[in-house]
Amino acid sequence: MFFKQSKTAKIIFFLVAILVTSVGSAFAAVNLQPIQAFLNRSVTFVVKGERWQPKDASGQPLTAIQYNGSNYLPVRALAEALKVPIDYDSATQTIYIGGKPGVKTPLFAMPIEIDNIYVTQTKDTAETMVNGKQFQQVLKIDQYGDVYFTLDRKYKRLVLDAAVISPGEHDVEFSLYNAASMAGNTAETVLEKHTVSPEDRMKTMIFNVEGLEKIKIHVQSPNLNPYIYARILDTSYFDNGESSATDSPSVK
């Protein structure tokens, strides 16, 4: 009896193996086409003025492939050299260069640098109650302060939710700066600025951060009032959504 069950199992397994092989062969026949190409070891690469050697996931050097007069490189190696996010969806056989659309990275999931004097990160429920709504955590800025985020050019937008709470009575400016080590003089240039008023309750601001490695958000009163009582909320996020004319700030 055991022999018959074992034999039946082997037959079923054999049939499944044939089916999988047949499906794989059919897929290959339709979607894969053999070509004649050459490894072109004479090609060298310079990225942003510096010599660059493409490597695979294990760190082994890669060589350009020449086909029909053009040189080709694995897209992942090139994307990583240019600091462009890349994802692969095996189910749909789709390569996403520049990040998957619609994917959001929460603000507090990002590397954040704060001074912990003028800016503090808190989960205290008494401090995360903002204008009648409870949040999990917030950045608390009662006077003025700077918040730094490391992006590595992975995102296009910062969607920032903020509010001014009681006893704050002044407008508060949120200014975007390029904080990369190579920013040079541009580090002092305001790239974008939005204003939140106490009357706004909670406001969504959209900053264009495409191509930036590191950013600074500077928060202060435009009239240099000493106390502003601003809050940056945990509903804020980074994404790769396309900025457009319809992406105007909204009040919640």
The 10s digit of each residue's pLDDT in 39-85 is 988 988 888 788 888 888 888 988 989 999 898 888 888 777 777 77
As a whole number of angstroms, the distance between CA 228 and CA 231 comes to 9
CA distance readout (Å), 118 to 114, 147, 178, 230: 8, 10, 20, 11
Residue 147 phi/psi, 5° resolution? -125, 130
Cβ atoms of 216 and 170 closer than 8 Å: no
Confidence of residue 245 (pLDDT cuts 50, 70, 90): very low
Residue span of the structural domain in which 43 resides: 38-82
> Do 140 and 66 share a domain, yes or no?
no
Model pLDDT, residue 244: 44
Same domain, 171 and 230: yes
In a domain, 48, yes or no: yes
Contact by Cβ (8 Å): 50, 43: no
Same domain, 178 and 220: yes
Specify whether the CB–CB gap between 162 and 233 falls below 8 A: yes
Greater confidence (61 vs 3) lies with: 61
**Do both 153 and 56 map to the same domain?**
no
Residue-wise pLDDT for 93-144, tens only, equals 888 877 777 789 999 999 999 987 899 999 999 999 999 999 999 999 999 9
Same domain flag for 124 and 176: yes
- As given in the structure block, the two tokens for residue 125 are 């429920």
Task: Inform me whether the pLDDT recorded for 15 exceeds 70.
Answer: no
CATH number at residue 213: 2.60.120.680
| 13 assigned to some structural domain | no
For the segment 165-180, what is each residue's pLDDT rounded down to a tens digit? 999 999 999 999 999 9
3-class DSSP string for 75-139: HHHHHHHCCCCEEEECCCCEEEECCCCCCEEEHHHCCEECCCCCCEEECCCCCCEECCEECCCEE
- 63 and 117 part of one domain: no
- Asked whether the predicted pLDDT for residue 246 surpasses 50, the reply is no
User: 237 falls in which pLDDT band (50, 70, 90)?
Assistant: very high
Residue 113 domain flag: yes
